[in-house]
């Protein structure tokens, strides 16, 4: 029986890095355990901040030292130093936005003020360059540091340096600079400007805010066979950390305000929905939150509200979005103030 991605990553960590480094010990659980779902201060591997819990991590290096958990204000007898989320996705055909879907797992640790690592084991596919910039900008605005790696030797170096603040800072600054350079090179080749990026990536860029639009529909979040929650969270964080100083409106024009209210009532314990609804600086809006949209466009969006975006439905959606995006850019369509 083939090993799962989690099992491969956890075994690799233990085999290559051991269970202890200096005064640091490795907190990791067998794949069969659910202990990683517990909050860190309860002995688990899930971090939170400002009342919001993020995804669980696969491992964390800890030391015996009191640490105040910023999520629940409880003091833990162990201090988290480096939290890691790992995946074997690059060996499993995950060449696109599937890589973004686990970004939030280590983000909770970063928001809690420690070092978060997203480790993508080398494979047939490459790391999406976007991830490097997402983590780079998260490191600029959050209290912790976010690193993207595909080589455990880098993590080994960081662990060996961790007790030397000067050397650790130098290592992190160099790593972040390399991450940003990798992204910038690809960005310049593919887009050349943020205006071109916006045209190709369903984004509208304004002075103080950005609008990211997509064809999400209610069934995406209520049908267990679909993974729209994972995809939507990934898209949301990509937009937030590409534009870290701007407010983000996440526009779902096929949906209504009633749809959002329904999901708020029926997915109140869903972690991904909670992230989408409560991430600071991000606001989900629907067609009901727009002023100035032609009635024919509203009717068309309502008619295709439950239809997947393919064939004729995709053509209709794109036509509607051309009108809406043009209006949002030139000011003929605006967002309702709340």
Average pLDDT rounded to a whole number, residues 319-323: 97
* Structural contact between residues 277 and 283, judged by C-beta atoms closer than 8 angstroms: no
Claim to verify: residue 203 and residue 161 sit in the same structural domain: no
Q: What number of CA atoms fall less than 13 Å from residue 66's CA on the CB side?
A: 4
Q: 168, 187, 206 — which closes off a domain?
A: 187
Confidence of residue 223 (pLDDT cuts 50, 70, 90): confident
**Burial label, 81 (beta-carbon count in 10 A; 0-12, 13-18, 19+):** buried
Q: Give me the chain's average pLDDT, please.
A: 93
Claim to verify: residue 179 and residue 205 sit in the same structural domain: no
- What pLDDT does 157 receive? 96
226 pLDDT more than 90: no
Claim to verify: residue 304 and residue 199 sit in the same structural domain: yes
222 pLDDT more than 60: yes
Confidence of residue 19 (pLDDT cuts 50, 70, 90): confident
Confidence of residue 255 (pLDDT cuts 50, 70, 90): very high
Q: What number of CA atoms fall less than 13 Å from residue 12's CA on the CB side?
A: 23
Q: 162, 187, 212 — which closes off a domain?
A: 187
Helix 228-242 to helix 129-141 angle (10° resolution) is 60
CA distance 215 to 201: 13
Average pLDDT rounded to a whole number, residues 189-200: 96
Claim to verify: residue 38 and residue 88 sit in the same structural domain: yes
Classify the C-alpha dihedral 277-228-111-182 as positive or negative: negative
Confidence of residue 2 (pLDDT cuts 50, 70, 90): low
Claim to verify: residue 198 and residue 69 sit in the same structural domain: no
Q: 267 vs 28, 70, 172, 209, 244, CA distance in Å? A: 29, 25, 38, 27, 27
Average pLDDT rounded to a whole number, residues 165-170: 97
Q: 166 vs 36, 67, 80, 161, 333, CA distance in Å? A: 32, 22, 19, 9, 51
Claim to verify: residue 212 and residue 317 sit in the same structural domain: yes
Of the two residues 301 and 91, the one the predictor is more confident about is 301
Q: What is the pLDDT of residues 27-42, one digit of tens each?
A: 999 877 889 999 999 9
Give the other-Cβ count within 10 Å of 89's Cβ: 19
- What pLDDT does 252 receive? 98
Claim to verify: residue 203 and residue 315 sit in the same structural domain: yes
Claim to verify: residue 52 and residue 162 sit in the same structural domain: yes
Claim to verify: residue 280 and residue 160 sit in the same structural domain: no
- What pLDDT does 271 receive? 87
Q: How many domains would you assign to the chain?
A: 2
Average pLDDT rounded to a whole number, residues 61-81: 94
Confidence of residue 95 (pLDDT cuts 50, 70, 90): low
Q: 187, 222, 251 — which closes off a domain?
A: 187
Q: 23 vs 18, 155, 159, 163, 235, CA distance in Å? A: 13, 16, 10, 9, 38
Average pLDDT rounded to a whole number, residues 165-180: 98
Claim to verify: residue 120 and residue 201 sit in the same structural domain: no
1 pLDDT more than 50: no
- What pLDDT does 40 receive? 94
Helix 228-242 to helix 103-111 angle (10° resolution) is 50
CA distance 141 to 144: 9
Claim to verify: residue 148 and residue 274 sit in the same structural domain: no
Range of the domain at 313: 194-335
Q: What is the pLDDT of residues 268-285, one digit of tens each?
A: 888 889 999 999 999 999
Question: pTM of the prediction?
Answer: 0.93
The residues with which 12 forms a beta bridge, in sequence order, are: none
Claim to verify: residue 179 and residue 211 sit in the same structural domain: no
- What pLDDT does 227 receive? 67
């Amino acid at each position: 029986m083939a090993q799962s991605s989690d099992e491969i990553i956890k075994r690799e960590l233990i085999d290559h890095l051991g269970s202890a480094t200096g005064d640091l010990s490795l907190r990791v659980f067998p794949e069969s355990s659910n202990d990683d779902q517990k909050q860190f201060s309860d002995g688990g591997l899930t971090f939170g901040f400002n009342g919001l819990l993020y995804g669980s991590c696969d491992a964390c290096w800890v030391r015996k030292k009191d640490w105040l958990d910023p999520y629940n204000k409880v003091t833990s007898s162990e201090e988290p130093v480096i939290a890691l989320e790992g995946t074997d996705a690059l060996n499993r055909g995950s060449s696109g936005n599937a890589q973004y879907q686990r970004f939030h797992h280590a983000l909770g640790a970063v928001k809690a003020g420690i070092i978060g690592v997203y480790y993508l084991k080398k494979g047939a596919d490459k790391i999406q360059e976007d991830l490097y910039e997402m983590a780079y900008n998260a490191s600029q605005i959050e209290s912790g540091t976010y690193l993207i790696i595909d080589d455990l030797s880098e993590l080994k170096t960081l662990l060996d340096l961790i007790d030397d603040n000067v050397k650790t800072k130098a290592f992190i600054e160099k790593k972040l600079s390399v991450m940003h350079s990798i992204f910038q090179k690809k960005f310049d080749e593919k887009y050349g400007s943020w205006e071109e990026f916006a045209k190709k990536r369903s984004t509208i860029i304004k002075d103080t805010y950005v609008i990211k639009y997509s064809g999400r529909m209610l069934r995406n979040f209520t049908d267990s066979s679909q993974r729209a929650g994972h995809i939507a969270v990934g898209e949301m964080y990509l937009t937030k950390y590409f534009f870290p100083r701007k407010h983000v409106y996440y526009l779902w024009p096929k949906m209504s305000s009633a749809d959002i209210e329904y999901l708020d009532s029926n997915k109140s314990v869903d972690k991904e929905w909670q992230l989408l609804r409560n991430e600071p600086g991000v606001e989900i809006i629907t067609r009901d939150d727009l002023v100035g949209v032609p009635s024919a466009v509203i009717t068309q969006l309502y008619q295709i509200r439950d239809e997947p975006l393919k064939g004729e439905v995709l053509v209709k959606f794109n036509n509607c979005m051309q009108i809406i995006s043009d209006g949002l850019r030139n000011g003929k369509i605006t967002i309702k103030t709340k």
